[in-house]
Amino acid sequence: MRTLIAIVITSLLALAALAIAQPTVPGVPFHDALRGTAPLDEEPKAPLIAPTENKDVIRGLNYAQQPPTIPHKIDNYQLDKNANRCLACHARSRAEESGAVPVAVSHYMDRESAVSGHLSPRRYFCTQCHVPQADTKPLVGNSFVAVEDIRQQPAKTKKR
């Protein structure tokens, strides 16, 4: 009987020790770049949407193969299965008249790089890759460096 009680007590003590070892919620309030410190079960007031930049000035690219950002407003431009307003100006056949930059030849290629006379379906939904911009502070940090910039930095560790 005594041994049984001893076993029960030791197992209870072991369980208690385990419970204490469980990770605890840190005292620091949860912080998310988008939500701030608002608790997950509360809906914070959303910040105002920044106005889209509409300067009509083509921006430089940050890396090779980057889809250029859209330098004009695209509000109310229909872009769905029925109509593509972007192409009304950007199709190669329309560019001369509209003054818009014609879509790159890559937009007429299929995945086998065969060029066809019509826009490739995989390039139909322009805003999948091209986005308008706003002059705002970045929400999260970013230390991206384009590969050509890495190569331009002098190789310090390299022995010659």
Judged by the rule CB under 6 A, the positions of this chain that interact with ligand HEC are 56, 58, 65, 67-68, 70-72, 74, 77, 79, 84-90, 98-101, 103-104, 106-107, 119, 123-130
| 129 is an annotated ligand-binding site residue | yes
47 with 139: CB under 8 angstroms? Answer: no
User: What residues contact residue 1 under an 8 Å CB cut-off, 6+ apart?
Assistant: none
Strand partners, 40: none
In this structure, the number of other CB atoms found within 10 A of the CB of residue 92 comes to 15
| Minimum CB–partner distance for residue 40 and ligand HEC (Å) | 34
Q: Annotated binding residue at 86?
A: yes
Least distance from C-beta 145 to ligand HEC, angstroms?
19
Between CA 48 and CA 45 the distance in angstroms is 9
Q: How far is the CB of 47 from ligand HEC (least distance, A)?
A: 24
For ligand HEC, give the closer residue by CB, 38 or 94: 94
**38 or 100: whose CB is closer to ligand HEC?**
100
Backbone angles phi, psi at 102, to 5 degrees: -65, 145
Check if the beta carbon of residue 37 is closer than 8 Å to that of residue 19.
no
Output the smallest distance, CB 112 to ligand HEC, in A: 16
- 77 contacts 86 by C-beta, under 8 angstroms: yes
Residue number, 52 or 84, with CB nearest to ligand HEC: 84
Q: Is 31 among the annotated ligand-binding positions?
A: no
**Binding site residue list for heme c:** 72, 86, 89-90, 107, 126, 129-130
